[in-house]
Structure 1
Amino acid sequence: MPDVTSYTTEEIAKLLRVSKLTVYDLIKKGELPAYRVGRQMRVDADDLERYKLRAKGSNNRLTNVAPSGGQSLASATDASSLVITGQDVSLDILSKHIEKRTKDFRPLRSHVGSMDSLIAMYQGRADIVSAHLLDGDTGEYNLPYIRKLLVGFPYIVINLLTRTAGLYVKKGNPKHIASWADLSRSDVRIVNREKGSGARVLLDEQLRLHGISPGNVRGYLDEESNHLGVAGKVMTGEADAGVGIEKAAFIVGADFIPLTKERCDLVMLKSAENMAWIELVQSIVASPSFQEELRSIQGYDLSLTGKVLLDHHS
């Protein structure tokens, strides 16, 4: 009798002792058959066992297309999967619009940080990358990192949105925290984001610019993997402050100290086979329907949304 157990991508990553991006890569290239339940991708236990047996026998990675949605394996393989990396809810909205507009491409979401996303793109494991990485020396977002990491690749960078970033504090701001410099106070404890996230890069750059050693910031090594986790720890009193975006403060009921505007951009590698879906993504991001959905979310500035910031030819 077949095993009816199924696993999420997170569970598969733990079982195989690999990253979630590697699991998405296996799904995207068809090594690991998968299907969608709501917004979640799942893999049946029998398919996982077959993959492990093939891997033991060949030590090679397979390269087919993963099914999703309730389609059969045969029909799903007609669609090309697009791995979209990043954690902002706008990317979930983008995925939904792609699914509405075409059956030729199937979006797969990977919730990883900006730096890890760009590295995954360099390694061929991501198709549409979102980034919000501050370069403290220039004050520029994303482009300095993209130019360094994607050397030799043709790519296009378009703006997704701009949002307010700053510090979460408890209601009423009892510690009277007002600036980055306050994070070095002995009476302030923070909760940090994980390495590779845009919020972590923002904090590290601000500490560097203010001449503050991370070792002098209480709680610097305490990490959460998303904005809500950081804001939640501040609200429960486990930390006095944390870096994040305005929307999460509104959701959990924390106060928010706005300190900067960060630009979130989409990065896509240009090639002849990619141009069809790149044009689709550009069309969606510039569309009134997509932007109308984003306007309903607190803290988004759409004044640059859809603008081509860099069209690089290798």
Structure 2
Amino acid sequence: MEEISLTPEEVAARLKIAKNTVYELIKRGELPAYRVGRKIRLDLKDVENYKRQGKKLDFHEEEKIAGLTRLVQSIKPSLGPRGIVICGQDVLLDILTRHLERHANGIQVLRHNVGSFPGLLALYQEKADLAAIHLWDGDTNVYNIPYVRHMLPGIQSIIIHLACRMQGFYVAKGNPKNILAWQDLTRPDITFINREKGSGTRVLLDEKLRLLDIARHSIRGYEMEELSHLAIASTVARGEADVGMGNEKVSMQVREVSFVPLQKERYELVIKKEDLYKPYIQATMEILQSEEFKKELHGLGDYDVSETGKVVAEV
């Protein structure tokens, strides 16, 4: 009988899981796979065997927010009334956490590294107290405000500016393939590595593709995902992809990677207006507006701190 081969997308549809989960199962050796050129293929019989074995799948993408909920539910009660949860991925949040825990109105902080969409959802579901986001709206050329308005319906919110960062392409050192513009991602000699759905970087990419009328699936590797700027840069440095996206600061930390700047983005903190006068929020604003905090950020590079601590919008 002729063997039937499937793409990762087809396997994901059969197993009712995300494509990213299929790739994770392949990486862990739980699903046999092979390459035909640059494409990954799986045999139908191996997929059916996997289903019959009744293995427990790691629903990586679909369970991400559910996992955050379980984590916060288990940890936040132990934090008590003087504990908060901050969602976001940038190292500046680690610095903010350290300052908060040392402040006169100090408070214990749980940092949860999730993208912008999961962070806003956690704030909406009262599973987090602050969420850091960088979500660009291509129709208005405005960061964050349109998304907060629609993802926190009926909740008056305040957006506090953290910093501006440069977003761009990670490419091999010296940029040997001369990747300079969004349109270059569709070239047949280019392999891309993407960020996960819900991250601010993924939103920027998808909005740019929409405005430029570029078909997402014309980009080789669009479906391949990693969960952080560092993981993207590392993939490019290893030669497993020609280009990925992230902020400039991370490119400074990874050898064999060069950076192609594309767009300055606004990284901002969202709180509920009803929490504005709580001591930990007042402490947060005091820290963000302090010269000590701004100098520390400036010293790390790739941060424009000229508006740090400014309330940019009430939504």
* TM-score of the two chains, using structure 1 as the length reference: 0.77
Counterparts of 2:171 and 2:275, CA distance in 1: 48
Structure 2 equivalent of residue 239 of structure 1: 241
Counterparts of 1:220 and 1:115, CA distance in 2: 19
Structure 2 equivalent of residue 36 of structure 1: none
- Map of 1:16-95 to 2, 5 A cutoff? 19-30=66-77, 65-66=78-79, 77=80, 79-95=81-97
Counterparts of 1:24 and 1:247, CA distance in 2: 29
Structure 1 equivalent of residue 166 of structure 2: 164
Structure 1 unmatched ranges of 5 or more: 1-13, 31-64, 67-76
Distance apart, 1:138 and its partner CA:
0.8
Residues 149 and 175 (structure 1 numbering): CA distance in 2 closer, same or farther, change over 3 Å?
Answer: same
CA contact (8 A) 1:132 1:262 kept: yes
CA contact (8 A) 1:24 1:83 kept: no
Partner SS, residue 301 of structure 1: coil
Distance apart, 1:103 and its partner CA:
6.0
Paired residue type of 2:93:
L
CA contact (8 A) 2:73 2:127 kept: no
* TM-score of the two chains, using structure 2 as the length reference: 0.77
Structure 2 equivalent of residue 264 of structure 1: 267
Partner SS, residue 234 of structure 1: helix
2:278 matches 1:275: yes
Counterparts of 1:222 and 1:311, CA distance in 2: 37
Per-residue displacement from partner, 1:132-153 (whole Å, max 9, x unpaired)?
A: 0010111110001001111211
Per-residue displacement from partner, 1:183-210 (whole Å, max 9, x unpaired)?
A: 0111111000011111111111111111
Give identity over the alignment, percent.
45
Distance apart, 1:274 and its partner CA:
5.7
Paired residue type of 2:109:
P
Partner SS, residue 210 of structure 2: helix
Partner SS, residue 253 of structure 2: helix
Structure 1 equivalent of residue 108 of structure 2: 106
Residues 222 and 274 (structure 1 numbering): CA distance in 2 closer, same or farther, change over 3 Å?
Answer: farther
Paired residue type of 1:292:
K
Partner SS, residue 86 of structure 2: strand
Paired residue type of 2:219:
V
- Map of 1:164-203 to 2, 5 A cutoff? 164-203=166-205
Match of 1:225 among 224, 227, 247: 227
Counterparts of 1:92 and 1:104, CA distance in 2: 15
Distance apart, 1:29 and its partner CA:
3.8
Structure 2 equivalent of residue 122 of structure 1: 124
Counterparts of 1:27 and 1:102, CA distance in 2: 27
CA contact (8 A) 1:20 1:110 kept: no
CA contact (8 A) 2:276 2:282 kept: no
Structure 1 equivalent of residue 139 of structure 2: 137
Structure 1 equivalent of residue 9 of structure 2: none
Per-residue displacement from partner, 1:234-285 (whole Å, max 9, x unpaired)?
A: 1111000001010111111210000000000000112268632221111110
Distance apart, 1:28 and its partner CA:
4.4
CA RMSD of aligned residues (A): 1.8
Residues 240 and 272 (structure 1 numbering): CA distance in 2 closer, same or farther, change over 3 Å?
Answer: closer
CA contact (8 A) 2:83 2:109 kept: yes
CA contact (8 A) 1:28 1:83 kept: no
Structure 2 equivalent of residue 50 of structure 1: none
CA contact (8 A) 2:233 2:254 kept: yes
CA contact (8 A) 2:105 2:279 kept: no
Distance apart, 1:102 and its partner CA:
4.0
Structure 2 unmatched ranges of 5 or more: 1-57
Paired residue type of 1:23:
R
Distance apart, 1:21 and its partner CA:
1.5
